[in-house]
Structures are given as C-alpha cells and as structure tokens.
Structure 1
Amino acid sequence: MNFTEQSTSVIVGGHTGIGRALADALRERPGRVLVASRRSGLDVTDPSAVERYFEAIGTIDHLIFTAGSQAPGGQLLDMDLSTARAAFDTKFWGSLAVAKVGARYLRAGGSLTLTSGFLARRAVPGTFVKTAMNAALEAVAKVLARELAPLRVNVVSPGLTDSEAYAGMAEDARLAMLQRAANNLPVGRVGRPQDLAQGYLLAIDTPFMTGAVIDIDGGALIN
C-alpha cells in the first residue's frame, strides 16, 4: 500500500524503544502516525478503553502493537503465577484486544503487525513466561492471518535490544549484560530499536506477506 497524506498508522506502545523508532521512521512518510500507550492514557487491558480509542480515530491503514510487559523471570516452582498472569494480560491479551477492535477499522489492504520475541522458540530455563506469551502470539497471528484475510497479519520477533526495557537495571550491570549477549551473537552486537523498526516496515510494505514471523535477533536462534 502506498502512503499518502490520508494514510493513518497506529502504533500501540510507540512512546519508547522499538515503537518510538518505528514511529520516527513512519513520520518520514506521508500521512499521520498515531502513538498510544499507557503513558497517553490507553490501557490495553481495558477492552472498553480500546473500543473508545479506535472509535475516536476512525479508519486506519496500518496497526502495529509493540507494547511489552514486565514478564517475571524464574522457574515455575518459584513463580508467583499472579505476576505471570499480569504479564499475559498486557502483552498477549492486550495484543488480541487491540487486534479485535482495530481490525474493524483497517482499510482493505491494510496490515496488522504484532510483536513476539526470540524466546518463543528458545528453551531457556527461567524464561517460561516470555516463552509462553511469545509462542502464543506467533501461533495466534497465523490463525488471524486466515480469519482476517485479506487484511495482512504478521509478527516481528526481536532479539535482545538495547532499549528502555532495561532502564531499571544498574548501568554497569546493564552494560555487562549487553556486552555478554553481543559476544555470543553471530553479528557481534545487540539490536538497536532502529534495527527492529526495519522489520515492521518490511511487514507493512510487502503486500505478498501474511502469516509470517520475521526474526530480527542477531542470529540468536541459530546460536
């Protein structure tokens, strides 16, 4: 779909990190880019709030969900499952709430792009919450690509990305973590939000792509 002055792209989770980088890239094109997140007052765990948000916007061309959640780490036997449920409420059920409502407002030929993560297909002890959420999103997206056709539905699966997601860590610990990861990746560095934005643009711009999972992980899955 060509971008015109009438094109509208909506990024849910676009105030920080990957979402913000994508918003910056889309703003270089014609049309309007709308960014929504908890920061702007949209709570994706509240279906009525999602309904009101899209009702106020009207018809859109592209819908991208990049909002994440603070998924708890740890092994099942030590996990407080209420925190795991809260993470699912935001990323998994929030994605589906946005998709359910947003799909009604997408123009013919429009696209819906969700976000998973490389742990969807990596068995790493202590990460079962992220693995379950992301694997579920990838599986559901393929079903939605059938149910919502001819709308296109794809998923971008990021690897470790240097973003605000790790802002709560002590700076020396954050840098050490990123360096360890970079040393173990075939590309020799971790991702940047701008790297990941290119994956979403690929999903948006490719009219022959639907039901795809786009891995942008520095080679993590082949390590």
Structure 2
Amino acid sequence: MSLKDQRVLVVGGSSGIGLGVAQAALDAGAEVTIASRSQEKVDRAVKTLKGKAAGGVLDTHNSADIEAFFETHGTFDHVMISAAQTKVAAVRELPLEDAYASFDSKFWGAYRLARAARIREGGSLTFTSGFLSVRPKAGAAIQGAINAALEGLARGLALELAPVRVNAVSPGLVKTPMLDQSQGDSRQAMFEGAAEKLPVGMVGTPEHIAIQVLAFMSNPYMTGSTVFVEGGGAIA
C-alpha cells in the first residue's frame, strides 16, 4: 500500500488541487509527472515542487495529443485528473456554447484520458467531481450535472477497466488560485461565511483533497467509489 517509487501522473497538476496532489505524492515517495496545457504553468509548478517532479504539456481537448503523450511517457501506476475549465451560471443565462465547452473540458476531457491512459494492472484512475452532484445549487445546475456524470463514469469504468481501479473524489469549497480572482475583503468574507455554515468550521485546502486521492491510489480495496471531502457541505 506504499506509493514509494510508483509513477504518478497528475493531469491539471500545475495548480490548485492537482498541485496539492502532486506534492503529497512526492512526499509519499512517488515519481511524479504533472501535465497541463500551458508549458509556462508546468515550468512554474515544477519550480514550486523544487524540481522533484517531471512535467509535460497535455491538451485534454485533443485525443491525438493525449495518445501521443502516453506514447512518449509510457505506463503509469496511478493517474489523477483535476484539469477542467468550466463556466457556471443559471441555465437560461449561460450561453449554450459555454455549457458545451464546460462539459467538453471537465467530462469529455476525463473521458478522453480514460480511453487512452496507460495504467498498470492494479493501478488507479481518479476523477475530480464536486459535491454539487448531490447538493444542487440554483444557478449552478450545469456544474452539478457535470459532476454527477463524472461520478457515474467512474462507477462504470471501475467495471470496464478492472483490474485498474477507478474512483472519484468530490470536493467542496477549496482555497485554490481559481478563487483568488476575487480580491481582498470580499474573498476573505466569502471564505469566512462559508466556513460558518460548515460543520467543520473551515474551508478546505488542496492538501485536504490530496489525502483522499492518495488513499485511492494506495488502497487496493477501493474502486467504483465517490468520496466527498467537503467539510460536511453536502449535509449542512
């Protein structure tokens, strides 16, 4: 159940949850590769990880690019996917092209990777969904639908890809660079307000999510599971 010397690929590992998973896997002794569409972001993340991780450019929108990536990098023990760019708004306000693009990025990107990824027998594939799949929110129906679809895909692939294990981690509100776009007092007030509503009294960090992702990788008795790491947000 050790990750020492095992090969871990984190797609979307240049920031946020993915970067947190990459750091945790390195700390556990794994050989880590991070992938992102941006070479600049990959280089910056590798520097953040003190040069201990390898990096590669990968566009999850492009099936040929994904296949070429695995031709070059070979087989991994574990693959984790956190790469996604989505737009959230009420269904009647969100342009259809933005809704399609959101599904293409988060759901179909993961689907394309699952088709092409080279993972050893007994290894693992982990998706990142989100607790809106079970706790809908007005104005975010598209995000809840995408997350639910990913969780359903994980269960189906757990059967199709066995003995490769497939799971989904479902975070709640997590402090990531994506949320840093809101500045100053408004950002701090948002976090404080959210923390007050959660049973744990705090907002999550990438490190909290990474704990569960590493459990998926290291526990050979876990597959077809969705685990919510959301501070009780699904029940609050």
Same fold (TM over 0.5): yes
Larger mean Cα displacement after TM superposition, 37-46 or 135-144: 37-46
Give the equivalent residue in structure 1 for 2:173.
Answer: 160
Change (3 A) 1:69 1:9: same
Letter in 1 for 2:63: P
Q: Residue 49 of structure 1: CA displacement?
A: 0.8
Identical-pair percentage: 41
Deviation per CA, 1:80-135, whole angstroms, max 9, x where unpaired? 11111111111110011111100xx2111100000000001112110011101100
Letter in 1 for 2:130: G
Note the 1:66-145 alignment, pairs <5 A: 66-73=82-89, 75-102=90-117, 105-145=118-158
Give the equivalent residue in structure 2 for 1:25.
Answer: 24
Consecutive unaligned residues in structure 2, runs of 5 or more: 40-56
Equivalent residues of 2:86, 2:105 under 8 A apart: no
Q: Residue 76 of structure 1: CA displacement?
A: 1.6
Give the equivalent residue in structure 2 for 1:10.
Answer: 9
Q: Distance in 2 between matches of 1:4 and 1:59?
A: 16
Q: Distance in 2 between matches of 1:149 and 1:58?
A: 19
Equivalent residues of 2:3, 2:25 under 8 A apart: no
Scaled by the length of structure 2, the TM-score of the pair is 0.89
Q: Residue 71 of structure 1: CA displacement?
A: 2.2
DSSP-derived class of the 1:64 partner: strand
Larger mean Cα displacement after TM superposition, 153-162 or 175-184: 175-184
The runs of at least 4 aligned residues of structure 1 exceeding 6 Å deviation read: none
Q: Distance in 2 between matches of 1:3 and 1:203?
A: 11
Scaled by the length of structure 1, the TM-score of the pair is 0.94
Letter in 2 for 1:183: E
Letter in 1 for 2:211: Q
Change (3 A) 1:58 1:127: same
Cα RMSD, aligned residues only = 1.2
Q: Distance in 2 between matches of 1:158 and 1:79?
A: 23
Choose the corresponding residue for 1:48, options 64, 71, 75. 64
Q: Residue 4 of structure 1: CA displacement?
A: 4.2
Consecutive unaligned residues in structure 1, runs of 5 or more: none
2:160 is equivalent to residue 147 of structure 1: yes
Q: Residue 30 of structure 1: CA displacement?
A: 3.1
